[in-house]
Amino acid sequence: MLVLAAESSCDETAVALVEDGRVLSSAVYSQVARHAPFGGIVPDIAARMHIETVAEVARRAFEEAERTPDQVDAVAATYAPGLVNCLVVGLSWARAFAVARGLPFLAVDHLEAHVYGCLMSPLGDPLDPDKVELPLVALLVSGGHTAIYRYEGPGRMTRLARTVDDAAGEAFDKVAVLLGLGYPGGPEIERAAREGDPKAFDFPRGRIKRRPLDFSFSGLKTAVLYATRGQNKKRDDPLLPGLSIPDVAASFQESVCRTLIDHAVKATLEQDVATLALAGGVARNGRLRELALAAGDKKGLDIVLCEPAYCTDNAAMIGGLACARLAGGEAPDRGQLALGASSKSQVG
């Protein structure tokens, strides 16, 4: 079964071809350079760029997969959550393809697809159904979302914890701006942190009363602001003389990563499952991956680190999940063709 998948929830235009769970191609056009001068994503620019690029990205996906549109058996696209103006581009493009060719269409949840990505094999390799044991607990850390889920398989995902303010990736992006580093902030902070001392600053580890698994990163952001400008100073105030940007970056990264892993490990033990998986853009972070592996060793947990190519937004994870749903016996009904794009996930 050959699935054509599209993803356009944020600033990546992505199209993939996935055959029985094996990723044949995963074309991604990142708009990051276009948004970098603004220090964040500008939704209207993002939507326009999806319109301009989706057909070319799809052409690349077919070329790399060495398949033709006539060979497609089913079509899938992200319908939620994300920027609605952006979602509708990939969704409408994919639906038009499905309707014109009389193919079944599957509307896919972006968050579930991020988690499902942890079960997938690298590009070109067949799906290995024994790769990961289910159920698992997933830490999903991206620019738009930070949450912990219990995942039992397609359609069976329950949220255990979430952030009450910023997503972890958003905190990386905002702190990078405070430090005068580029966008997106995650990779920039990780790079700067390599030269820094993670113990130089004792940044707070956001805790929420009576909700020990939830996250809060706004206090940490303010702590970084004051550490770099002085107490009660504003963002536009000058940096303190002699400040070591690498030390701030390393200490910030350490605080975020330790909090994420502590909560995720706690949730995994509470759920009494053997596997903790890391998904989403922030899951590319080397320090986060290192801390997860160390915690897994200590607590006897299997740690699944999502393939870096499936951590940040891509359509392979959308196609992979669609294949799993079809293999599980789902018969896509016409209702999925009518499902509107939404900023909210049904999964939570």
Does residue 112 touch ligand KG4 according to CB under 6 A?
no
Which amino acid is residue 306, in one-letter code?
Answer: C
Applying CB under 5 A, which of residues 35, 65, 313, 341 lies at the interface with Zn ion? 313
Residue 217 three-state SS:
coil
* Nearest-10 crossing angle of helices 286-299, 185-193: 70
Please give the order of strands across the beta sheet that includes 105-109: 22-30, 12-19, 2-7, 74-80, 105-109
Q: Of the ranges 37-45, 73-81, 182-190, 328-336, which one interacts with ligand KG4 (CB under 6 A)?
A: 182-190
Our finding on whether 79 is near ligand KG4 (CB under 6 A) is no
Indicate the burial class of 340 (C-beta count within 10 angstroms; 0-12, 13-18, 19 or more).
exposed
Q: Out of 104, 117, 185, 198, point to the residue binding ligand KG4 (CB under 6 A).
A: 185
Give 238's DSSP letter.
P
Tell me how far apart the alpha carbons of residues 22 and 24 are, in angstroms, rounded to a whole number.
6
Q: Which member of 313, 318, 321, 341 binds ligand KG4 (CB under 6 A)?
A: 313
Instruction: Verify binding: residue 173, ligand KG4, rule CB under 6 A.
Output: yes
Asked if 142 interacts with Zn ion (CB under 5 A), we say: yes
In the complex, least distance from residue 120 CB atom to ligand KG4, rounded to whole angstroms = 15
The pairs formed by 295-302 with CB atoms below 8 angstroms and a separation of 24 or more are 295/261, 295/265, 299/265, 299/268, 299/269, 301/265, 301/268, 301/269, 301/274, 301/275, 301/276, 302/132, 302/133, 302/274, 302/275, 302/276
Rule CB under 6 A: say whether 7 interacts with ligand KG4. no
**Which stretch, 33-41, 90-98, 310-318, 321-329, contacts Zn ion (CB under 5 A)?**
310-318
* Choices 49-57, 213-221, 276-284, 327-335; region in contact with ligand KG4 by CB under 6 A: 276-284
Rg (CA), the chain: 20
- Which entry of ligand KG4, Zn ion, none binds 319, CB below 5 to 8 A by partner kind? none
Residue 253 found at the interface with Zn ion (CB under 5 A): no
Q: Which of 90, 135, 144, 319 binds ligand KG4 (CB under 6 A)?
A: 144
Determine if 117 is a binding residue for ligand KG4 (CB under 6 A).
Answer: no
- The single residue listed with the structure tokens 């220090």 is 39
Q: Is the dihedral of CA 219, 221, 224, 225 positive or negative?
A: negative
DSSP 215: B
Q: Which is nearer to Zn ion, 225 or 318 (CB)?
A: 318
Q: Does 143 bind ligand KG4 (CB under 6 A)?
A: yes
Binding-site ranges for ligand KG4 (CB under 6 A): 10, 142-144, 169, 172-173, 184-187, 190, 280-282, 284-285, 312-313
